Structures are given as structure tokens and as C-alpha cells.
Structure 1
Amino acid sequence: MDLLAMRESYQQQRVMLCFNGPISRSLIEEIGNALRNYLDSEQAALSSSMDVFAIYIEMTQNIRHYSRRRQYGERDATATVAVGRDDAGRYTVSAGNLVEADDGRELAKVIEEIGELDKAELKQAYKRQLRQPRDADSTRGAGLGLLDMARKSSLPLQARLQPLPNGQAFFSLTATV
């Protein structure tokens, strides 16, 4: 493993925090604390800091819930998470994980549809979804998390689905604050 090359790549891409591996509730919390401390040390605006943190939590919890629901073993129940800055100085929060290809295509479609909404439409969709009764037997979330991330993001959410030869795919999502 060439750590120097990784370090240089991270610096070039302005990565502030990166994690790759099995994700647990306690690990989500610990990385979240590290992220908060980092944002505090950067003296990030409070609203940006809160949005970055909330998006990080939503993304990682979604990955954890999906992996548990699919009963993935430790090898497949991993997350890759990176928080950085783009060329304009905005924060980017990215997370990715293995998914069943059909699930990934469905999720990418939903994110594409959400990306077509403006801020007012996002707010309406969020309120409408909040009022919807939730099926207790549903295996999917209510969609509020995606809508909330899109509302906090200054650019449309970016999803990417990379097919793998085994019927799975690597799904990644990026939000920009």
C-alpha cells in the first residue's frame, strides 16, 4: 500500500476525511464526531457544518440499514465515505456501497427525479412525504432522507451506479453543501 500516493491523491482532491470498511452504529458516531471537530477547526459556518453532518449521518445510516436488510456479510456490508471540498470551496459529502443492481437502478432513478425539482418543489415534496402514512411492512425508507439531503445540497444530488460482474453494483451518492 502506497500511503504517500494516497495522501497526495487526497490532497489533490481536497479530501478532509475518508473511511472505507465495515460500518457500525458506533463507528458512524465516532466518524461523525471527528467530522464535527474538523469542521469546527476549519471554522465552517454553523449552517454548513450542520448540513454536512446531517448529510453524512443520513448517507451512512442508509448504507448500514440497506446492508442489514440485505443481510450482507462483513465483506459486502462496507461503506466508502469521503468528505472534501470542491474547486469552489463548497463541502462535498460522498458515500458508496455495494447494492443489488436492480436496487441501485431504482435508487438512481429516484435521485434523478429529485434532481429535477427546484427548492420550492423539494420543500413541497418533503412536506407531502412527511404526511404520507408509512407502511410498517415496507422494506424501504419513506424517502424523506433523500429529499432532506437534496434540500440541504446547493447542487442536485449526484448518483453513480457502476455495475459489477456478479449482479451487484457499486452505488455512490454525492451531496454538495
Structure 2
Amino acid sequence: MKYIYELHKTMLQQNLILVYEGEFTQEITKSVLAMAERNMESVGEESNIKRKVFNVMVECLQNICKHADEISLEENMKNSAIFMIGKHANEYIITTGNPINNDKVGGLNNKLEQINSLDKEGLKALYKDIIRNGDLSDKGGAGLGFVDMARKSGQKLEFDFQPINDKISFFSLKTTIPRVNTNE
């Protein structure tokens, strides 16, 4: 039972206000969004900041729901992903992680590196270009959500790929949203 206390201490040290690990469905996504929204309202967060955090959360959760690969490492890890939101004095940090097939790592890495190489105007141009050229996949992607997350946060997206085995890696994504009111 000591692990419960250790987990609690870690959550306090990392200022985590919500952690969910498991299978993500539309219903679970709605619940996670509602809990985070209630938390921000209870502390009187500015509406502009709430909107940005909410927008990034929606994009993160949609990425997990729509794009997580059907991977069965072990029966208890089937479609397992993690979502965390932390609140610090000057920022919110939203972190997600889910297994993906290794054949997607290179393309995803390149897409995220491209997004991180752009400034505010470059992100705006890329966003418009993706929409204009209809470069959307059957799941609705083409990186539009990542571009939107970078635009809303005004920060670089942090990401990592941890190899699990020769076929699967664990994709982690961290987005930081400043709590100071910065106009988009």
C-alpha cells in the first residue's frame, strides 16, 4: 500500500491536478474535460487561459482517441494511454502518452520538428496551408491539432519516443500553456 502514498507525493510534487490512465473513449474524454474545467473554475482561472487550456486538452485527447494505434502489449495495456494536467504558479502543463507503431515514429517526429521550427506567423501559415490543401487524413489529422496546440500555447511542443520493443514505441507529448494573458 506504500505505492499509493508514493504516487500521492509524486502528484503533489509535480503539481498534478488530474491524471487518467487507461482506455480512452469519447465518454471518458468528456468526463476528463469536465473535471479539468471544474477545477479551473473553482480556482477562478481567467476565461482566456481556460479557453486555451481547454482547447489544448481537447486536441490532446482527440489525438489519443483517434490516432492511438490498436496495440496489445499485454492484455492489461491494450489501448492504454495516459493524460495528465498540472498547474503551476505561471503555467499549465498538459502531458499525454500512448503506444504507437514504430513505423509512424519518423513521420511524427518530422512533423513535430517542423512545427517547433516555426514562429507565430509560420504556424499560422502552416495551419492555413493544411486547411486550404485539404491535406487531412481519414482520421482528420495531417498535424492540424499539433499546429493548433503550438499556436494556442505559444510554446514549443516537447515530445519523446521511448522504444518498447522492435514494433512499438511510447509517444509522450508535453504542452505548456502560460497562465499570463498573452494575446494570440
Normalization by structure 1: what TM-score? 0.89
CA shift for structure 1 position 142: 2.8
Classify the secondary structure of the residue corresponding to 2:40: helix
Q: 2:82 aligns with which of 80, 83, 86?
A: 80
Conserved 8 A contact 1:161-1:169: yes
For residues 139 and 42 of structure 2, the distance between their equivalents in structure 1, rounded to whole angstroms, comes to 39
Identify the residue that residue 55 of structure 1 maps to in structure 2. Answer: 56
CA shift for structure 1 position 154: 2.9
Identity over aligned pairs, percent: 29
Structure 1 residue ranges (4+ consecutive) displaced by more than 4 angstroms after TM superposition: none
CA shift for structure 1 position 52: 1.1
- How many residue pairs match? The answer is 173
- Could you tell me which runs of 5 or more consecutive residues in structure 2 were left unpaired when the two chains were aligned: 178-184
Identify the residue that residue 115 of structure 1 maps to in structure 2. Answer: 116
Query: In structure 1, what residue type is equivalent to 2:158?
Result: Q
Query: In structure 1, what residue type is equivalent to 2:168?
Result: Q
For residues 159 and 31 of structure 2, the distance between their equivalents in structure 1, rounded to whole angstroms, comes to 26
Normalization by structure 2: what TM-score? 0.86
Per-residue CA deviations over 1:78-112 (Å, capped at 9, x if unaligned) read 210100035x6211111110001121232122111
Classify the secondary structure of the residue corresponding to 2:127: helix
Query: In structure 1, what residue type is equivalent to 2:172?
Result: S
CA RMSD between the two structures: 1.9
Identify the residue that residue 149 of structure 1 maps to in structure 2. Answer: 149
Identify the residue that residue 104 of structure 1 maps to in structure 2. Answer: 105
Classify the secondary structure of the residue corresponding to 1:176: strand
- Could you tell me which runs of 5 or more consecutive residues in structure 1 were left unpaired when the two chains were aligned: none
Conserved 8 A contact 1:82-1:94: yes
Conserved 8 A contact 1:59-1:95: yes
For residues 103 and 87 of structure 2, the distance between their equivalents in structure 1, rounded to whole angstroms, comes to 31
